[in-house]
């Protein structure tokens, strides 16, 4: 546990690979070496205690002491120190940028893609014995995990999942954002992909049409408060190229067309390419950010 950038840089050989979920003093969690298992433990706190998946509820109860000791990765002290250093100008001009260094967002989330990928290893027996909902969910997967001791080894066979689970909470997948942004754009995880977000943002810079941001944030009113904050944030950077450069997103766009690189998976078959592409982009961005951070420490 480092709490600040200086400690991270002094102690990690590859700080761009350090996962923010390790910012805890809970030894039980730190001793979980399998990133796939850590992901399910970390997310088990999201299981509804009234869920029909009783095994998943029990798994949550078992891991409650761990979950209660882990802070939200995109607002832990370490990542906020990253925001403070790399986005100092925006934070200093908070009245115009609406960036205060306290609110961050995980750029691309894992759960929706994992729900798709789960069908690769799901069996007819899983469906018959454990499935109780209308669609694949976190609770359903944890239900299988709770009862099937081979579940983690099965999930390792989902190509690219382990790598993405490792990169998911590293520095390259976090960005400071204005209020209401992260919850509004997610659409229950369906649109929690940074390529989707960048596509809307580029369209806004091209048109300056606030209806584009309303669509990004799933608002019907372009005068909604969340839209207002987001537009002010984007306006602070001035141009699309400034937004990309000042947020260390050069690897997320095509250098010739300046269009976002697309990676959101539509089907289970797409998840292998998604895991590979997005993991690579997160790592490259992380290296850019670490290179810049070394100038301050």
Q: For residue 90, what pLDDT is reported?
A: 97
What are the tens digits of pLDDT across the range 180-189? 998 889 888 8
- Is the model's pLDDT at 75 over the cut of 90? no
What are the tens digits of pLDDT across the range 4-32? 999 999 999 999 999 999 999 899 999 99
| 249 contacts 256 by C-beta, under 8 angstroms | no
What are the tens digits of pLDDT across the range 236-254? 999 999 999 999 999 999 9
Among 105-114, 185-194, 269-278, 279-288, where is mean pLDDT lowest? 185-194
**162 or 74, which is more confident?**
162
Comparing CA positions, the residue from 207, 208, 214, 212 lying closest to residue 184 is 214
Specify the 3-state DSSP secondary structure of 168. coil
Query: Where are the alpha helices (H) located in 239-270, listed in sequence order?
Result: 240-246
Give me the half-sphere count of Cα atoms (radius 13 Å) on the Cβ side of residue 105.
Answer: 21
With b for 16 or more beta-carbon neighbours within 10 A and e for fewer, the 122-148 pattern comes to beeebeeebbeeeebbbbbbbbbbbeb
Number of neighbours of residue 225 by Cβ within 10 angstroms: 12
160-171 average pLDDT score: 95
Contacts of 135 (CB under 8 A, 6+ apart): 115
Contacts of 240 (CB under 8 A, 6+ apart): 201, 202, 205, 206, 258
187-203 average pLDDT score: 94
What are the tens digits of pLDDT across the range 37-52? 999 999 999 999 999 9
83-106 average pLDDT score: 95
Give me the half-sphere count of Cα atoms (radius 13 Å) on the Cβ side of residue 64.
Answer: 8
| 104 contacts 74 by C-beta, under 8 angstroms | yes
Average pLDDT across the chain, whole number: 95
Kindly report the pTM of this predicted structure: 0.94
Q: For residue 189, what pLDDT is reported?
A: 80
**pLDDT band of 113, cuts 50, 70, 90:** very high
Q: For residue 182, what pLDDT is reported?
A: 87
Domain extents in the chain: 74-111+159-297
What are the tens digits of pLDDT across the range 116-131? 999 999 999 999 999 9
What are the tens digits of pLDDT across the range 58-74? 999 999 999 888 888 88
**pLDDT band of 115, cuts 50, 70, 90:** very high
Give the Cα-Cα-Cα angle 236, 278, 252 (nearest 5 degrees). Answer: 35
């Amino acid at each position: 546990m480092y709490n600040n950038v200086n400690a991270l840089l002094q102690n990690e050989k590859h700080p761009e690979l350090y996962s923010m979920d390790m910012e805890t003093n809970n030894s039980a969690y730190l001793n979980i070496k399998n990133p796939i298992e850590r992901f399910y433990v970390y997310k088990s706190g999201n299981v509804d205690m009234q869920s029909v998946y009783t095994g998943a509820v029990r798994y949550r109860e078992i891991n409650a002491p761990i979950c209660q000791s882990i802070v939200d990765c995109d607002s832990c002290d370490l990542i906020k120190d990253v925001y403070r250093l790399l986005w100092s100008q925006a934070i200093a001009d908070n009245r115009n940028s609406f960036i205060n260094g306290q609110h961050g967002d995980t750029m691309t989330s894992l759960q929706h893609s994992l729900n798709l990928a789960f069908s690769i290893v799901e069996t007819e027996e899983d469906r018959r014995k454990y499935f109780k909902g209308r669609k694949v969910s976190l609770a359903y997967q944890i239900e299988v995990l709770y009862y099937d001791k081979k579940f983690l080894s099965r999930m390792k066979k989902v190509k690219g999942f382990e790598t993405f689970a490792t990169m998911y909470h590293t520095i390259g997948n976090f960005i400071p954002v204005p209020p209401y942004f992260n919850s509004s754009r997610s659409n229950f995880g369906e649109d929690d992909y940074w390529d989707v977000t960048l596509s809307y943002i580029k369209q806004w810079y091209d048109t300056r049409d606030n209806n584009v941001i309303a669509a990004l944030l799933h608002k019907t009113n372009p005068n909604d408060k969340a839209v207002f904050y987001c537009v002010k944030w984007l306006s602070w950077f001035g141009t699309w190229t400034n937004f990309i450069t000042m947020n260390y997103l050069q690897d997320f766009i095509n250098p010739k067309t300046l269009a976002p690189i697309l990676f959101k998976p539509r089907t289970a078959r797409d998840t292998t390419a998604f895991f590979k592409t997005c993991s690579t982009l997160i790592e490259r961005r992380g290296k850019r950010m670490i290179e810049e951070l070394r100038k301050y420490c």
